[in-house]
Chain A
Amino acid sequence: MATAQELRAKAKQRQIMIQSALIVFSLTILWVAVSNAQSNLTRLNMTSGFAFLDRGTGWDYSFSLIDRDINDRYSYTLFVGFLNTVFVGFICIVTTTFFGFIIGTLRDAQHPALRFAANVYVQIFRNIPLILQAVFLYALLIHLGGPRQAISIADVAFLSGRGMMLPGLNISATVAISLVLASILFGIVLLCTKITMWRGLLVWCCGSVLVALVVALIVKPAGESVFSVPVLQGLRFQGGINLPIELLAMILSITLYGSAYIAEIVRGGLNQVPRGLVEAGQALGLTRMSIWTRIKVPMALRSIIPPLGNQWIFMMKATTIGIAIGFSDLFYITVTSISQSGQTLELIMLLMLTFLAINYAIALFTNWLNTRMKLKEN
């Protein structure tokens, strides 16, 4: 008859056995995979290593935030892809969250017509695959026609099958990017202070616009206006800000799809706010708007933020549909690099590491947001 101690010791031993077996198993798999890869590479006579990153690519792509040239090195081109992915992902996170909150609130509204319309929207856009929506929307957009048939909005903005031309400040791309970065930094600083959400937003928007205007006034070339308005010249518009149609299709389709998802998350969160609190607000004579901003949203946020963070990560990953519509996101650049350079393993590894890093950063941010919300409770 074994004593309890012996049994416990036995169980412990078994646990150690299982765990070491798992470790040995994973290491073996790893070793087998690596040795196979090595021998396959030699057998197929393929070169490996990261030397190709220093070579020029020789090809061009549809969209870049920073200057580009066909002689750029692979490392630089991949970095452009990374920037594009982060850029589109960030914009989509902002737009989907914004529209998601509006539609989610409408779905929770008392008014049946608003609820119905929001429901129709959610049911349509949530139940069709994102990539199909993107491809469909892209096909519709490019059929808008060339620059000469562009739809003019008050003669300062134009929409055509090539993209959207908007009036902008008369500054170079580098200055523009530094301004955006400065604005983001400003936003982060504001987040760290104790300023309330709505006032913070106001300060951030006004501050950013003001700084941009002042900078534009200082750096503008002598004799030119502060604003640059697109003008049709030859085959394309010149001046202003050019948003290629691929970028528009990406942002629009991800926004349509993602905001339907976030609307559901928001509705779920709002639903969980105890009725009594809302009624208390009504008894105090608060308007609907203040009940929403001061009671419902702050209370709902705590249950909204964790799934919202997952949705944000999804947005980042969703940028990989760019390849289906010719938008040069990181995945597209990686795939093209693979077929042009043949360095499959190295490029896929870089791609995966980058996505892990981006998503880890988002997860950290949501955790931080979550704890901040929780602290406020006390």
Chain B
Amino acid sequence: MQNTFIARNPSVLWFLAALGLFTAIVTLMSEATGVGLISTSFVKTLGKTLCLCLIAIAMDVVWGYCGILSLGHFAFFGIGGYAIGMWLMYARTEAIVVPNLMAQTIPPTPQEISDAIGNQIFGVVGSSEFPMIWGFADSLFLQLLMVVLVPGLLALVFGWLAFRSRVTGVYLSILTQAMTLALALYLFQNDSGLRGNNGLSGLQNIPGFEDTPQATISIVFFLASAFALAAGYVFFAWIVSGKMGSVVKGIRDNEARVRFLGYHVESYKLFIFTITAIVAGIAGALYYPQAGIINPGEIAPIASIYLAVWVAIGGRGRLYGAVIGAAFVSLLSSWFTGGGAPPINLGFYTIQWTDWWLVLLGVSFVAVTLFFPKGIGGLFDYLVRKQP
């Protein structure tokens, strides 16, 4: 089964080979191996980009293959980040606080430990009590489970409600956007128990590895992200290439007709929506320890729209298109906004790319939608097919 699936999809092998080569080169060049040609901060950028590629594939499956333009997948990404962030913060603080309490004459009560940790985590946002949400924060296993379960359940409930009522097309997009906005607004509140606008920070310090240099940690996360991307790619390639993939593509092209053929369209859509949400959550859980901080601004509706932009520019309906789009646009974006692009002097006006990059992105995005609906990936296809 596996053999035939890979055999039918040579692109998967090509992708894995390219990713493997890229990972090996970056690892060898990094500061962790002592070569240091690629700085730790750039390794982190690359690792984060791989996570973005992973969520972009998920987005491609749900939009490019199933035709659901979800403007809410970044919410799942953020939830994954929050879930892992809670454990990272809790465990790190515990490691600082508990030895201190233990050193005193009288051993601390569980309440005192919890108060001390709570005061450290929530003191900066003017509170010291542990909210209910943090009930499992002391267990890495349970929080890892949350990374998968919370986005999955949210997507399941939301999708079930929406697909059941036959909310489709533009309506569904707006609805998913409303969901993202509601979540972001909720998290923005201090009362949400997740530190409001401040979010969770210091996530790059992994508890138990306080003495490991960031150069090593960054490479470990980079490799983990690469592995997750590879696994996600193979998994989704497998899903969309089988019979299931045909049904899903049929739903995209003509939902009514697939329904008349006797398929339970809602179940297929729900499955795709949920499974991609879970992958988005995993991507988020890998992303935020590399970014170091997660806050509600990350979940704002605009982020999910950018995700759609990446996939559209990369080329929908091709998994490698999503990867190319996410990597290309996000790296280009940080190059332009980071002041890397040289300003262009027009004589009467100097174009500063920090100011004009978004204008360029917006316009080129319109151009891609109008003239290259297949995106960069389409160009790729064209070149490959031209060869005999």
Are A and B subunits of one complex?
Answer: no
What is A's interface to B at a CB cutoff of 8 Å?
Answer: none
